[in-house]
Amino acid sequence: MTRRFVWFAFSVLFVSGVTLGQIADAPPSPPPDERFKADILIVVAHPDDETMVTGYLAKAIFDEHKRVAVVFGTRGDGGGNAMGYEQAASLGAEREIEGRRALESFGVMNVWFLGAPDTPGQDVLRSLETWNHGSALAQTVRIMRLTRPQVVLTWLPGYVAGENHDDHQAAGVIATEAFDLAGDPTAFPEQVSAPRDRSSISNLTEGLHPWQPQKIYYFTDASHTGFLEGKGPQYSTKAASPSRHVPYYRLAAEEMSFHLTQSDTGQMAKEALAKGDFHYFEEPVRLILGKSLVKCAPTDDIFEGTVQGPIPFRSVRGYRPEAVQGVSLELGGPWAFYREFWRAHGIENLAALLPVPEVAIGAGETLYVPLVVRNDSDLPKTVKLTAVLPPGWTERAGSARYPVSAHDLYPAQVVLAAPAGVKPAWYELTWKAESDGQPAGSVTLKVQLASGGLPQ
């Protein structure tokens, strides 16, 4: 061994602290990055969706000093453009900036886009498909763990008569799933495993911490709001902000006015500000309490009962099949999904919001109703399906005799033509199943014929 090598070996031992009788102090372990901490995480589908709650956010941000972060599922690349010819990806590029500028005006800088395509329609299952559900969920869980919110605000995961945008519903479904997964270290475990050496490359994993949010609230684009009464807090926008000295509705209009490609939000807000007519913005912000893991009443303030630090993970019951006997009839598609989704995620209270399922379409349009004919008996059955329709409705498909194997189901697709040239109104449509000459269940759907809805 040369003298030079001995000196080298000694230096290595000394510098690394491995000298006889001593042990080095490990460097401090850095906490989660405070720059990304949020009190409220908003999970929505399109730039301008946040305007559903800006009348409340003005108060929370300017007067209560709450930190807010936002996830947009899409860049809003569908729909018309009130400013120019830019469409599709170009429109999305514009709307991302509109959304960022609008939120920046409220001091909200932590804004993420999931990159899903804008999918106009009413069937949540279609949006979950086009959004690449698993990937969108993984990213939402990641952002929930990064921002560590007490409260999540998102769209209602439910089928309503109104705009009922399937992307809105998808945002609500994914936010609910993320709420229940972000605190579970076995969900997307690569996100919560410590990196090998954070100061260098090839670190293998992401180094976040599991996080259990405390409350989740929903808002809706339903055409009617009576069913929201008493289901969550409502925030008047008419009070003046103590720090800004103008009513919250004016602050909400200013935020909305950044979305100028959108005629029904940005352009409307621009006009309201020019005319000083804010009647649209004077509507309260209406929320529905989905669930709370801390003690509070449904209509309490959204921060009532919340604690600053982490709370323990709370597992949900998950899917459990229910025992069904004989032949039965159910609404299928998104309605069937929600029935199980609410139970699986501990938000059964949403089932009581609209006891009779509903949908809205335009007069003269086609209505699609997925039905499920079930046979939970040990014998094959022939099930007769008939429709009871109000005057003016025409059935194109649906009524028939359906062969259903034992312990199987038959997905029947009902297609109806709604009456044309009628005034906006509600209709009640019923389907009846009959097996072995006996009634075997029925399904009723309320249909609102109105203008301005999305295609089903």
Q: Which is nearer to Zn ion, 113 or 211 (CB)?
A: 113
What is the smallest separation between the CB atom of 165 and Zn ion, expressed in angstroms? 5
Alpha-carbon distance of 379 to 9, in angstroms, equals 82
Q: Which is nearer to Zn ion, 168 or 343 (CB)?
A: 168
Alpha-carbon distance of 442 to 446, in angstroms, equals 14
* Edge-to-edge strands, sheet with 111-116: 111-116, 68-74, 40-44, 151-155, 215-219, 288-292
What is the smallest separation between the CB atom of 421 and Zn ion, expressed in angstroms? 29
Q: Which is nearer to Zn ion, 83 or 336 (CB)?
A: 83
Alpha-carbon distance of 363 to 366, in angstroms, equals 9
Burial 251-260 (b: 16+ CB within 10 A, else e): bbbbbbbbbb
What is the smallest separation between the CB atom of 102 and Zn ion, expressed in angstroms? 13
What is the smallest separation between the CB atom of 168 and Zn ion, expressed in angstroms? 6
What is the smallest separation between the CB atom of 349 and Zn ion, expressed in angstroms? 24
What is the smallest separation between the CB atom of 74 and Zn ion, expressed in angstroms? 8
Q: Which is nearer to Zn ion, 47 or 210 (CB)?
A: 47
Tokens linked to 273: 């500000």
Collapsed DSSP state (helix, strand, coil) of residue 199: coil
Q: Which residue is nearest to Zn ion (CB)?
A: 46
Q: Which is nearer to Zn ion, 49 or 434 (CB)?
A: 49
Alpha-carbon distance of 344 to 158, in angstroms, equals 14
CA 351 to chain centre: 16
Q: Which is nearer to Zn ion, 191 or 262 (CB)?
A: 262
How many CB atoms within 10 Å of residue 130?
17
Q: Which is nearer to Zn ion, 49 or 123 (CB)?
A: 49
- Positions that interact with Zn ion (CB under 5 A): 45-46, 49
> Which candidate, 253, 296, 294, places its Cα nearest to that of 272?
253
Alpha-carbon distance of 411 to 153, in angstroms, equals 34
Residue 81 C-beta-side C-alpha neighbours within 13 Å = 17
Tokens linked to 339: 């029935």
H helical segments located in 50-187 = 54-58, 88-104, 124-130, 133-147, 166-181
Alpha-carbon distance of 169 to 152, in angstroms, equals 15
What is the smallest separation between the CB atom of 324 and Zn ion, expressed in angstroms? 36
Q: Which is nearer to Zn ion, 172 or 247 (CB)?
A: 172
What is the smallest separation between the CB atom of 258 and Zn ion, expressed in angstroms? 15
Tokens linked to 19: 């000298």
